[in-house]
Each structure stands twice: as C-alpha cells, then as structure tokens.
C-alpha cells in the first residue's frame, strides 16, 4: 500500500538509528562504547527535578495554553532579554516538545512546495527531513573546510535561486563544533535580510562554548537589530540543562509568526507536558542555580574536548578533524583510511562497531560520508578507551 507524498522521501533519524542499534547490541551482551547520539551524560539538575515533582504533586497536570504556560514564556523572554540586553516579548515565545518541534513548526509554517531551503552543511541530520516533510526542497550549502565549513555571503550567493525561501543555520554546530562570530553571523543575517530569505537559527548548543570566557556562544540576539530581516530563533533545554527526555524547546520570533506556529502546534501536540513546563520555569527562571549547573557541565565538556583532541593528536596525528569551538562533538575525516570494501564513512563506522565495539555516526547523516562524528558527552575513562580501541583498529594491532 503506498504511503502519502508527504513522507515519500522521509528517512528515519540516522543519529537515533545508530544509537538504538548500539543500545541493542549492548543489551545482547556485546561490549559496546556508545558515542553516537548527542546526549549529555549528566542527570538533570536537582533544582529542576524538584520543581517538576512539586508541580505534579500540587496538581500541575492539566492542559496548558498551546504556546506554553504564561509564567514559562515570561521566564524564557527574561532569559533572552538578559542575553541580548534588549527587551524580548513573552508573546514571541512558543514553548515546544523539544527544539525538534520548534524546527518542525517553523519549517512547516514557512515553507512549502516549490520553495528551496538552504541548509548550512555539514548539518544536523533532521534539517533536510523537516524541510522535506513540508514538501519544500532542501539545498545543502557547504562553506570551506578551512573555515570550519562556516558560510559567507559568497557561498550563499552561489547557491541562491529565485526559489530560495529559507536558510537554516546552527551555531555552535552539530556535527562540526564550529561557532560563528558576531561579525560572521551579522554578514549572513544581512545577506538573508537583503534577499528576503527566512533565517532560522538553531542555537541549542549556545551554552556549550569553548572559545573564550563568554558564558554563551554568539547568536542572533547579538546581531544588531537593523541587520536582521525575518528570523526565527530555536533553542531548548535538552543540551544546556541535560533534559533530553523531558522534551522542552522553544522558538522566538515576531508575535505574528509565533501566532501561526502556535496555531499549528495546537492541532498536533497541543503543548509539551505540563510537568516539563513547570521544570522549565525553574530552569529558565532560577538564573543563579542554572548558571552554576551549566558552568559545572561545561567545565566537564571542555575537559573532555581537550582530552579527545590531545589523544587524537597523539594516537592518530594523520586524521584531520575540526577543532570543536562549541557543542560536544568531534568531527573527523576518515577517507584517508578507506581501503578494500571500506569506501565510505558508513562502511568504516560499521567496521569499527563490529571489530572493536565503538559506535559513532557516519557523515552520511550530516551530508558528507567522508567524515565521522564522535560525541564526547561521556566520561573521561570511556573516551580514553574508545580512542584506544579506534587507534588499535586503525593500526591493525
Ligand atoms: N538541534 C540540534 C542541532 C540538535 O543536535 C538537536 C539534538 N537533539 C536538536 C536540535 C533537537 O533537540 P531536542 O528536540 O532534544 O530539543
Ligand atoms: N541531536 C542529537 C544528535 O545529533 C540527539 C539525537 C537526535 O535527536 O538526532 O545525536
């Protein structure tokens, strides 16, 4: 029986598929190190968990407005105001079931048949699929490898057509770890403004930033307001607050766009769960506790990033990688290792999983199957062991 045209080209999430396979092999007794899915290995901070438990006990278990509890929208707007130094409107916030739903809402509401949507590549695996679900055409645009693949107006001009309606950008980037500077972001934002292209900026890793002493990576809210055309900011609690399973994300946009996104959501999930929203009021409202928890987690990510890059330099100096400036991924290039039947990163990752039990995600999931992504959201011991196993397979010892 044929399925509808809506999903004819749909592929399941590759990151989730690898992680599911790794978990299955581990449950069958295989000794597997799973560095595939990007998921903090920390528990959700206690002040957030306690708020949710208290909320459930006191009867916070009913539907909420689709755009989210007013208290949560206010807390998120205050958090964004603190970041940007300008007043952000709670009515521009739409609370979603994870950043994934915020991206779905935006893609489905802004794009449709005949539209092209540029995707900064290498990209997080779900962007092209979300554009495809909206029946628009995803167009991958790669910046140069030397610049960590970051896009310039020239790269964008080369891919621009009359049908271009949107651009999806992710900084800090999953999978490359690259971070746009304010100037680089401003140049891209002005390009989108001048071409009448929607700019969707996914900043879910903004707190996991390694370059300098700022507590967050530069983002759209650091771009001068006059440089922005039409834009939607996407963020969420999964990564910054170790809340992947709670499903808490949000978008920020003009109130007119927020109204449309809310109308769509009101027919789909209605709202993310109420206990999760109560947890969100603590996460975004209690800034002092949030800052302390985030600082602890980021310190660990930074240490692991240094560990992984220094071990790569020591054990496998011939393998190029992009130095992670944010997020928690190492993106490295394996085409120099291709031989025999192994002629793609997909085949290389299968070989690695079968031979030494290390699960990584092949670059096919991100637009270039010469590369591989390792999540370093794991303990130091686990990372050391994974790198040792990888080096032993590559050296054939
Ligand atoms: N954007 C990026 C770049 C991601 O890596 C992820 C990973 N889950 C998401 C969005 C979605 O996050 P969530 O739905 O858990 O908020
Ligand atoms: N975003 C994470 C990743 O890239 C989690 C899995 C997913 O949602 O894709 O691995």
Tens digit of each residue's pLDDT (9 = 90 or more) over 326-338: 999 999 999 999 9
- Closest listed residue to residue 240, CA positions, set 164, 298, 181, 303: 298
Per-residue pLDDT at 2: 84
Mutation probe of ligand 1 site: the residue of 100, 121, 367 with most atoms within 8 A of C-beta: 100
Q: Does pLDDT of 242 surpass 80?
A: yes
- Model pLDDT for residues 20-37, shown as the tens digit of each residue: 888 999 999 999 999 998
Per-residue pLDDT at 397: 63
- CB-based contacts of 170: which residues, under 8 Å, 6+ apart? 120, 123, 124, 127, 201, 202, 203, 204, 205
Q: How many angstroms is it from 37 CA to the middle of ligand 2?
A: 5
Q: Hey, what domains does the chain have and what are their CATH numbers?
A: 14-43+290-395 (3.90.1150.10), 61-286 (3.40.640.10)
Mutation probe of ligand 2 site: the residue of 13, 14, 15, 363 with most atoms within 8 A of C-beta: 15
CB 40 less than 6 A from any atom of ligand 2? no
pLDDT-based confidence at 134, cuts 50/70/90? very high
Measured distance CA(80)–CA(269) in Å, rounded: 25
- Model pLDDT for residues 148-170, shown as the tens digit of each residue: 999 999 999 999 999 999 999 99
Q: Does pLDDT of 339 surpass 90?
A: yes
Asked whether the beta carbons of 31 and 10 are under 8 A apart, the reply is no
Percent of the chain with pLDDT over 90: 91
Q: Which residue has the higher pLDDT, 10 or 174?
A: 174
Of ligand 1's atoms, which has the minimum distance to the CA of residue 249?
16
Measured distance CA(103)–CA(141) in Å, rounded: 19
Q: How many angstroms is it from 248 CA to the middle of ligand 1?
A: 10
Per-residue pLDDT at 47: 98
Write down the mean pLDDT value for the chain.
96
* pTM metric for this prediction: 0.96
Per-residue pLDDT at 118: 98
Q: How many angstroms is it from 295 CA to the middle of ligand 2?
A: 22
Q: How many angstroms is it from 152 CA to the middle of ligand 1?
A: 24
């Amino acid at each position: 029986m044929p399925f509808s045209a809506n999903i004819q080209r749909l592929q399941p999430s590759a990151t989730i598929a690898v992680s599911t396979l790794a978990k299955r092999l581990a449950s069958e007794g295989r000794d597997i190190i799973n560095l595939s899915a990007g998921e903090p290995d920390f528990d959700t901070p206690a002040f957030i968990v306690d708020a949710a438990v208290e909320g459930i006990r006191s009867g916070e278990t009913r539907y909420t407005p689709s755009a989210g509890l007013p208290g949560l929208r206010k807390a998120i707007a205050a958090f964004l105001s603190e970041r940007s130094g300008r007043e952000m409107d709670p009515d521009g916030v739409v609370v979603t079931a994870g950043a994934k739903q915020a991206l779905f809402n935006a893609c489905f509401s802004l794009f449709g048949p005949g539209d092209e949507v540029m995707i900064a590549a290498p990209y997080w695996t779900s962007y092209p699929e979300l554009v495809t679900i909206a029946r628009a055409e995803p167009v991958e645009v790669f910046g140069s490898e030397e610049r960590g693949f970051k896009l310039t107006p020239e790269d964008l001009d080369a891919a621009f057509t009359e049908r271009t309606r949107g651009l999806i950008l992710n900084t800090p980037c999953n999978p490359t770890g690259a971070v746009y500077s304010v100037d680089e972001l401003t140049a891209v934002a002005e390009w989108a403004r001048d071409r009448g292209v929607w700019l969707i900026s996914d900043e879910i890793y903004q707190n996991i930033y390694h370059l300098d002493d700022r507590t967050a990576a530069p983002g759209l809210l650091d771009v001068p307001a006059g440089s922005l055309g039409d834009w939607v900011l996407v963020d969420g609690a999964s990564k910054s607050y170790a809340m992947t399973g709670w499903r808490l994300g949000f978008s920020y946009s003009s109130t007119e766009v927020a109204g449309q996104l809310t109308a769509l959501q009101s027919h789909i999930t209605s709202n993310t769960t109420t206990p999760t929203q109560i947890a969100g009021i603590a996460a975004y409202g209690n800034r002092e506790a949030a800052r302390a928890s985030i600082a602890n987690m980021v310190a660990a990510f930074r240490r692991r990033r240094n560990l992984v890059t220094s071990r790569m330099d020591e054990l496998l100096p011939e393998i190029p990688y992009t130095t992670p400036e944010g997020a928690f991924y190492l993106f490295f290039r394996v085409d120099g290792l291709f031989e025999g039947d192994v002629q793609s990163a997909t085949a290389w990752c299968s070989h690695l999983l079968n031979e030494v039990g290390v699960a990584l995600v092949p670059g096919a999931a991100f637009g270039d199957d010469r590369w591989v992504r390792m999540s370093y959201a794991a303990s130091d011991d686990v990372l050391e062991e994974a790198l040792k196993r990888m080096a032993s397979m590559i050296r054939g010892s």
